[in-house]
């Protein structure tokens, strides 16, 4: 599994993931659990690999493969 997520992309993913996770605390009812979707961009940022990028052929990583 080659890294395809670059540095700036990782930061954006973590920020968006944390914003989505905050919905768990700010929303009421069962809709609040949709905030758990924020775990996906956080996970892909830490792993450095995004399956959607692989499908479309995108690569924002500056590492040479």
Chain centroid to CA 39: 7
Total-model pTM? 0.89
Q: What's the confidence (pLDDT) of residue 1?
A: 82
Distance CA 18, CA 56 (A): 25
Selection from 22, 64, 62 nearest residue 39 by Cα: 22
Tokens 């996906």 appear where? Answer: 40
Tens of pLDDT along the chain (65 residues) come to 899 999 999 999 999 999 999 999 999 999 999 999 999 999 999 999 999 999 999 999 987 76
């Amino acid at each position: 599994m080659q890294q395809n997520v670059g540095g700036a992309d990782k930061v954006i993913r973590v920020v968006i993931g944390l914003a989505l996770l905050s919905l768990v605390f700010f929303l009421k009812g069962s809709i609040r659990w949709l905030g758990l979707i924020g775990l996906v961009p956080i996970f892909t940022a830490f792993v450095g690999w995004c399956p959607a990028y692989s499908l479309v052929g995108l690569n924002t990583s500056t590492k040479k493969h």
